């Protein structure tokens, strides 16, 4: 059993520059994980830790799933790597077909990447290229949204709207605008599911279009539910309005579903859950259950077909990665989709939603709590920041929860919960009971 694995304690932590981490603080008191199984991690001290974040929003089927482990093992010994340019291997085609079959009807083609960041930059490039192929090369502007997170590559941080992720890195892409965010805490406090207020914020898109002209705009990209910024759900009618306006002006709409894809909101994709179909969907994380890096972009037949012109011996899209459709990632993806299907995990997330909702909203009234939000198996508990020390309170909650054997995620002063979809009711209870204690104990 993987949870019995022993990890050797590294004696030097200095070489590794850790991502999105307070390196100096971490290395003084490291938190090291050495094994995982089902809903639990084991840390280097042998403690069992309840995984309330599915790793980083990616281990949707839980850890150490036999099908996935076996598929990777087998694939590594059979075909470890195959070039993806002007060559192929069967599993990448099979995985693309399965993704097409599970997606709503308009998405007919799949482009593979290795991460959410790459999926986003791929989708932005396809959007600009699409217009160019159709003789509308002037459509190059991109529109994102405040508080949006679209990974860390230059395209993604340009359309993204998280200040710290942008401000150190220069002028970024030119020709980018941002819609206002929809985090209207005063109006929508303690809403269960989609909030009532804020659909009209989509109308700002009309103003941006009026300023620049529709014929300069390639695409709008949003997370249907903003994850990293702290679980911001779309106000009722908001996504519909974005769809209506983009369609009216010939602008492509991209949903970044790196977090919301693969059952997180109780459906295969948020596009299905909200009944709004964009022109492209970016994916990663749950595609391989987080086990092997892989991302994908789903595109409509229309977008794909716009590129399929000119002489047949010519490459149609000058884009791709050494590891696009990597055999081991493809095998992991196939086994992951099989696990989701076999265990009905997306349906399970939908069934558990109301129990999870009751549980997280039971924390209303606990110290520091100023808002609670939820949908599918995502929950957020927003805390009043300590005056003059933003993020500090939520980070103490993170540390305290870890001490008590529960892994949560915090962003700003928001606690985000996104457990694997295999979580039991008893584990939901334990998670919420622990958080209740944490909130009582922190300052």
Listed ranges 146-154, 169-177, 356-364, 384-392: which one lies at the site for ligand PXG (CB under 6 A): 146-154
Of 151 and 333, which CB lies nearer to ligand PXG in the complex structure?
151
Residue 433 burial (CB < 10 Å; 0-12/13-18/19+)? middle
How far, rounded to the nearest angstrom, does the alpha carbon of residue 182 sit from its chain's CA centroid? Answer: 18
Nearest residue to ligand PXG, by Cβ distance, number only? 116
Alpha helices in 154-313 (DSSP H): 154-159, 163-166, 185-188, 204-212, 238-248, 270-274, 301-307
How far, rounded to the nearest angstrom, does the alpha carbon of residue 94 sit from its chain's CA centroid? Answer: 23
Concatenate the DSSP letters of all residues of 322-354 into one string: TTTT-HHHHHHHHHHHHHHHHTTHHHHHHHHHH
**Residue 131 within binding range of ligand PXG, rule CB under 6 A:** no
Q: Give the Cα separation of 144 and 157 in Å (integer).
A: 10
Listed ranges 143-151, 187-195, 264-272, 376-384: which one lies at the site for ligand PXG (CB under 6 A): 143-151
**Residue 117 within binding range of ligand PXG, rule CB under 6 A:** yes
Q: Give the Cα separation of 205 and 51 in Å (integer).
A: 39
- For residue 82 the two structure tokens come to 């195959």
Footprint on residues 361-400 left by ligand PXG (CB under 6 A): none
Out of 37, 121, 223, 427, the only residue in the binding site for ligand PXG (CB under 6 A) is: 223
Please name the residues in contact with 19: beta carbons below 8 A apart, sequence gap of 6 or more. Answer: none
Total residues at interface with ligand PXG (CB under 6 A): 18
How far, rounded to the nearest angstrom, does the alpha carbon of residue 165 sit from its chain's CA centroid? Answer: 16
Out of 40, 61, 72, 115, the only residue in the binding site for ligand PXG (CB under 6 A) is: 115
Q: With contact defined as beta carbons under 8 Å apart, do 246 and 218 qualify?
A: no
**Residue 147 within binding range of ligand PXG, rule CB under 6 A:** no
**Residue 150 within binding range of ligand PXG, rule CB under 6 A:** yes
Beta strands 406-407 and 48-51, pairing class: parallel
Out of 151, 235, 261, 333, the only residue in the binding site for ligand PXG (CB under 6 A) is: 151
**Residue 113 within binding range of ligand PXG, rule CB under 6 A:** no
Cβ at position 131, least distance to ligand PXG in Å? 23
Q: Which residue reads 């991109």 in tokens? A: 142
Listed ranges 132-140, 171-179, 243-251, 252-260: which one lies at the site for ligand PXG (CB under 6 A): 252-260
Q: Give the Cα separation of 443 and 440 in Å (integer).
A: 8
Out of 75, 182, 228, 330, the only residue in the binding site for ligand PXG (CB under 6 A) is: 228
Out of 284, 335, 407, 417, the only residue in the binding site for ligand PXG (CB under 6 A) is: 284
Of 89 and 261, which CB lies nearer to ligand PXG in the complex structure?
261
DSSP code of residue 118: H
**Residue 149 within binding range of ligand PXG, rule CB under 6 A:** yes
**Residue 116 within binding range of ligand PXG, rule CB under 6 A:** yes
Q: Which residues bind ligand PXG (CB under 6 A)?
A: 56-57, 115-117, 120, 149-151, 223, 227-228, 256, 258-259, 284, 409, 411
């Amino acid at each position: 059993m993987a949870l019995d694995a022993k990890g050797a304690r590294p004696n030097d932590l200095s070489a590794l520059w850790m991502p999105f981490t307070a390196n100096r603080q971490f290395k003084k008191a490291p938190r090291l994980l050495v094994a995982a199984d089902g809903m639990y991690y084991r840390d280097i001290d042998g403690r069992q830790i309840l995984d309330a974040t599915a790793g980083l929003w990616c281990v949707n089927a839980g850890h150490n799933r036999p099908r996935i482990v076996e598929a990777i093992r087998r694939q590594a010994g059979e075909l470890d790597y195959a070039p993806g340019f002007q060559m192929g291997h069967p599993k990448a085609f099979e995985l693309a077909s399965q993704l097409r079959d599970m997606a709503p009807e308009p998405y007919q083609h799949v482009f593979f990447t290795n991460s959410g960041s790459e999926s986003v930059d791929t989708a932005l490039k396809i959007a600009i290229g699409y217009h160019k192929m159709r003789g509308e090369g002037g459509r190059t502007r991109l529109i994102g949204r405040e508080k949006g997170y679209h990974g860390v590559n230059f395209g993604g941080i340009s359309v993204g709207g998280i200040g710290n992720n942008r401000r150190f890195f220069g002028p970024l892409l030119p020709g980018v605008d941002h819609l206002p965010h929809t985090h209207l805490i005063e109006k929508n406090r303690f809403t269960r599911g989609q909030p009532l207020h804020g659909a009209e914020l989509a109308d700002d898109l009309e103003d941006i279009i009026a300023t620049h002209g529709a014929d300069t705009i390639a695409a709008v990209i949003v997370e249907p539910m903003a994850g990293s910024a702290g679980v911001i759900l779309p106000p009722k009618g908001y996504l519909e309005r974005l769809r209506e306006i983009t369609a009216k002006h010939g602008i492509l709409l991209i949903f970044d579903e790196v977090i919301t894809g693969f059952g997180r909101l109780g459906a295969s994709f948020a596009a299905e859950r909200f009944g709004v179909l964009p022109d492209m969907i970016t994916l990663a994380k749950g595609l391989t259950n987080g086990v092997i890096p892989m991302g994908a972009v789903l595109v409509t037949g229309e977008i794909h077909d716009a590129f399929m012109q000119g002489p047949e011996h010519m490459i149609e899209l000058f884009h791709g990665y050494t590891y696009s459709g990597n055999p081991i990632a493809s095998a992991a993806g196939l086994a992951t989709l099989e696990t989701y299907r076999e265990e009905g995990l997306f349906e399970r997330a939908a069934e558990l939603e109301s129990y999870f909702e009751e549980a997280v909203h039971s924390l209303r009234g606990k110290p520091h709590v100023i808002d609670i939000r939820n949908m599918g198996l995502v929950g957020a508990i927003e805390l009043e920041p300590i005056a003059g020390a933003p993020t500090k309170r939520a980070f103490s909650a993170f540390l305290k929860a870890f001490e008590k054997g529960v892994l949560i995620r915090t962003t700003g002063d928001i606690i985000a919960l996104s457990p694997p979809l295999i979580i039991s009711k008893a584990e939901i209870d334990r998670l919420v009971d622990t958080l209740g204690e944490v909130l009582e104990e922190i300052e």
